[in-house]
Amino acid sequence: MTQPRKIIIDTDPGQDDAVALLLALASPELDVLAITVVAGNVPLPLTELNTRKIVELSGRTDVPIYAGCAEPMDRKLVTAEHVHGRTGLDGPTLPDPKIQLQPEHAVDFLIETLRTTPDVTLCPLGPLTNIATALQRAPEIKENIREIVLMGGGFFEGGNITPAAEFNIYVDPTAADIVLRSGIQTTILPLDCTHNALTTAPRVAAFRALPNRAGPAVAELTDFFERYDKEKYGSEGAPLHDPTVIAYLLDPTLFETRHINVTVETKSDLTLGATVADWWRVTDRKPNATWVRNLDADGFFKLLTDRLATLP
């Protein structure tokens, strides 16, 4: 096997973030250098607590966790308790974690690590505040970032927090703009892709049937998480957004992509946070991102379930 791919996951758990963390921590192809936490689905004190709970559930207490930005770069925090519940991780009852946060701020950690560690892939699963703040304070770290693979945005599917914008981008459009203009190789898993990764009953039953703690816990996470989207979209399951980022690293052949220009709206009240994806290349704007348009959903859920089965 080639050397494991070095990654840092930036996250705002959130049930779907939790499943993404479990998938990454169960996959030996990935060397999870650290997990950095950002405010998003719920405020930072809860996203960091939720991260520690999930890492403890995975058994991978060797992976350090750093808390980062509690507010977006230049606007008030918008949260999503209506989707994720008051705790941000409603569903299973998980014990209070023993593992503690690292003392350093996540942004300081990102800068120090990326100044000296080459070939690192960043995997943002929430608002891009930590990543953009690090890039703004220390632009030289770009040299050591191999790729940014993020969940965010939407074009053919529109938005989910407003008609035009997806939540991660909407919470901090300025941060998203900094990342998209950074020149760093960036791959985007937008709603166009994740809305095809639905937690249907047979797929959740496969999680629940796993003979370990992680499988049933994931089923309880999705049982809670899917109620909102099933009602909203009238679909047979909820889109399992964030784990698609990790699955893309593990098996990119499951995904349909195109290298295009993606520009984010940072000013208009009506469309703030919209990701304008030039899928048909009708502008002369330079391609700056790989946009993931769709996935093999059965292949994705098989990969996810097989990996969850290897956890305690």
The residues that are catalytic are 241
- Does 68 participate in binding Ca ion (rule CB under 5 A)? no
Q: How many residues bind Ca ion (CB under 5 A)?
A: 6
Nearest-approach distance from CB 84 to ligand RIB, in angstroms: 7
Q: Which does 113 bind (CB under 5 to 8 A by kind): Ca ion, ligand RIB, none?
A: none
Between 167 and 207, CB nearer to ligand RIB: 167
Near Ca ion by CB under 5 A, which window of 64-72, 124-132, 193-201, 225-233?
A: 124-132
CA distance 175 to 297: 30
- Angle formed by the axes of helices 297-308 and 201-208, nearest 10°: 10
Nearest alpha carbon to residue 17 among 83, 77, 105: 83
Q: What angle do CA 289, 272, 171 make, to 5 degrees?
A: 80
Between 232 and 281, CB nearer to Ca ion: 232
Q: Where are the alpha helices (DSSP H) in 172-296?
A: 173-180, 191-194, 201-208, 214-233, 243-250
CA distance 245 to 237: 19
- Does 126 participate in binding Ca ion (rule CB under 5 A)? yes
- Does 17 participate in binding Ca ion (rule CB under 5 A)? yes
Q: Which does 167 bind (CB under 5 to 8 A by kind): ligand RIB, Ca ion, none?
A: ligand RIB
For Ca ion, the binding residue among 46, 111, 125, 145 (CB under 5 A) is 125
- The total of other beta-carbon atoms located within 10 Å of residue 302's CB is 14
**Residue 160 backbone phi and psi in degrees, to 5:** -125, -25
Nearest-approach distance from CB 85 to ligand RIB, in angstroms: 12
CA distance 298 to 73: 38
Which class for 294: exposed (0-12), middle (13-18), buried (19 or more C-beta within 10 A)? middle
Near Ca ion by CB under 5 A, which window of 8-16, 43-51, 203-211, 225-233?
A: 8-16
Nearest-approach distance from CB 102 to Ca ion, in angstroms: 21
What region, left, alpha or beta, does residue 272 occupy, with left being phi > 0 and alpha being psi -120 to 50 degrees?
A: beta
Between 16 and 147, CB nearer to ligand RIB: 16
Helix, coil or strand: residue 54: helix
- Does 10 participate in binding Ca ion (rule CB under 5 A)? no
Residues that bind ligand RIB (CB under 6 A): 12, 14, 16-17, 40-41, 125-126, 151, 160, 166-168, 241-242
Do 245 and 123 form a contact (C-beta atoms < 8 A)?
yes
Between 191 and 214, CB nearer to ligand RIB: 191
Q: Which does 37 bind (CB under 5 to 8 A by kind): ligand RIB, Ca ion, none?
A: none
Between 35 and 125, CB nearer to ligand RIB: 125
CA distance 142 to 128: 15
- Distance linking the first and last C-alpha atoms of the chain: 24
Residue 162 carries which side chain, given as an amino acid letter?
T
Q: Which does 147 bind (CB under 5 to 8 A by kind): Ca ion, ligand RIB, none?
A: none
- Taking residues 242 to 271 in sequence order and writing x for each that binds Ca ion by CB under 5 A, - otherwise, the string is x-----------------------------
Nearest-approach distance from CB 246 to Ca ion, in angstroms: 12
Q: Give residues in contact with Ca ion (CB under 5 A).
A: 12, 14, 17, 125-126, 242
